Amino acid sequence: MRRRIGFALIGLVTASLLLAGLGTIVLASVTDRQSDEDELREQTDALRELLAEVTLVDGQNTVETRAQQVMRLSRTMSLEGIGIVLVPQNGQLLGTFPAGITIDDLDIDLIRTGEIDSGRKDGLIFAAGGTNNRVGGQTLLVLTREPDPIIQPAFRWFLLAGFATLLLAVLVTVRLSRRLIEPVVQTSGAALRIAGGDMTARVDDKYAEMGGELADLVGSVNSMAGNLERSRALERQFLLSVSHDLRTPLTNIRGYAEALTDGAIDDPVAVGEIIESESRRLERLVGDLLLLARLEGTGFSYTLSDHDLGPIVADAIDGLRQEATDRGVELRVRQPDSPIRARVDRDRFGQIVSNLVGNAVRFADSEVHVTLWFAEGKIHLAVGDDGPGIGEADLPHVFERLYVAQQNPKIKESGSGLGLAIVRELTEGMGGTVVARRATGGGAEFVVSLDPSGD
């Protein structure tokens, strides 16, 4: 690619030089020749006025004498390419024309009217004019000049300037191609390494300082690599977490089932409750996995209608009271006495409440606070706990799929990293927003905000 760009740039410079140089030479040649012709016409006009004051006759007035006088005048004027010819009333012309010009080349009728005749013949530029001397004799003055050879010296200078320009173009092209292509080569190499599974591959940040589209390309590749590396790390973390979550309840269920089979259990009812609890844990995890598949696929479907959110919140919390009691956590709920209505999917909103409260119960030390209220044109649901809270490094990422906090506290059941991602997906699907923050009294707090119904 570097070679193609180099050849293209050098070819463009060469073509530009040829067009500009040759065009300039041709125009200069045409302009110069026209200037020579105009100058020759001016000289002819000036000289014929001088000849009008000269009498080319003597007392004998013979043809031979007049011819000799014409030749002496030409030698006296030391002029080359000039012919002075006397035009008698009858008889032959006296004098000679300049080499390369004959009487047939001149417009005699135009000259007799007092005008200057000029033109080109066989590489010569000529101008001719006539005048009458004091005694009435007619004199014909013809001047010739070869055009200045401007093309040859100009072409030599053009070749010299063109060679210097091409040399400079080659140097600039080499440097420019390296500067332009090197980031692309580095980016291509990084992309190939990423495609091969090396998620640590990055393009040097110095190329991002170049600005423009190349900087955007470098930034995009590095950002993509960072996101892929992070996604792979989250995937590994998620698989480890899910493996642990699956192994623990399955081990408990299998152990109690074997004990029941062996008849080593004195209280089968209590064992049945334990197996049922572990089964619910498995069911919840499988449900999260199914929801993950839907998040990665077409998303959720919603059946929106007008609902009072208070009963939905109460029902969701009632379903978690037993788990909260088992963990020694108290659920505190505050709701207004009057209905708070919003256009939501009842099941999806209940799922939001269950996920937030269930998450808070697992992390809380002793209390979980659930508050529903209306303020500033929005309906708000806040779920907070008195647990260890959310670290500053984790706060921007808690709603990402598969994310598990870096400082994950030791709890009875580790999180799969799906619950909060599902909350955000469901909330935004119903036109709302959700934010995470540190609670005023410590712990974490999540606030869901929805638009009230239009009634």
The answer, yes or no, to whether residue 135 has pLDDT greater than 60, is no
Structure tokens at 51: 């000849």
As a whole number, the mean pLDDT across the chain is 75
CA separation for the pair 421, 403 (Å, rounded):
9
Residues recorded for the chain: 455
- Look at residue 61 in the predicted model and tell me its pLDDT: 46
> How is domain 2-152 classified at the architecture level of CATH?
2-Layer Sandwich (3.30)
The residue ranking higher by pLDDT, 173 or 394, is 394
Return the pLDDT at 432.
93
Q: What is the mean pLDDT of residues 389-401?
A: 78
Q: Where is mean pLDDT largest: 95-109, 222-236, 304-318?
A: 304-318
Whether pLDDT at 330 is above 90: yes
Q: Answer yes or no: is pLDDT of 130 > 70.
A: yes
More confident of the two residues 99 and 6: 99
The answer on pLDDT for 301 being more than 80 is no
User: What gap in Å lies between CA 238 and CA 233, rounded to an integer?
Assistant: 8
- Answering whether pTM is above 0.85, one says no
CA 399-240-296 angle, 5° bins: 45
Please compute the mean of the pLDDT values over residues 257-273 and round it to a whole number. 83
Could you tell me the two tokens for 38? 């105009």
Give the lowest-confidence range in 57-66, 204-213, 214-223.
Answer: 57-66
Identify the pLDDT of residue 414.
42
Query: If you average pLDDT over residues 385-401, what whole number do you get?
Result: 80
pLDDT on residue 27? 60
User: 1.10.10.10, 3.50.50.60, 1.10.287.130, 3.30.360.10: which CATH number matches 199-299?
Assistant: 1.10.287.130
**pLDDT of res. 71:** 57
What SS3 string covers 184-224? HHHHHHHHHHHHCCCCCCCCCHHHHHHCHHHHHHHHHHHHH
What type of residue is 236? R
Asked if the model's pLDDT at residue 444 lies above 80, the reply is: yes
CATH number of this structure's domain 300-450: 3.30.565.10
Q: Which has the minimum average pLDDT: 108-122, 198-212, 411-425?
A: 411-425
pLDDT digits (tens, 9 = 90+) for 23-45: 666 665 666 667 777 887 887 78
d(C-alpha 238, C-alpha 172), whole Å: 53
What are the domain boundaries of the chain?
A: 2-152, 199-299, 300-450
Quick one: pLDDT at residue 25? 60
- For residue 129, count CB atoms less than 10 angstroms from its CB and return exposed for 0-12, middle for 13-18, buried for 19 or more: buried
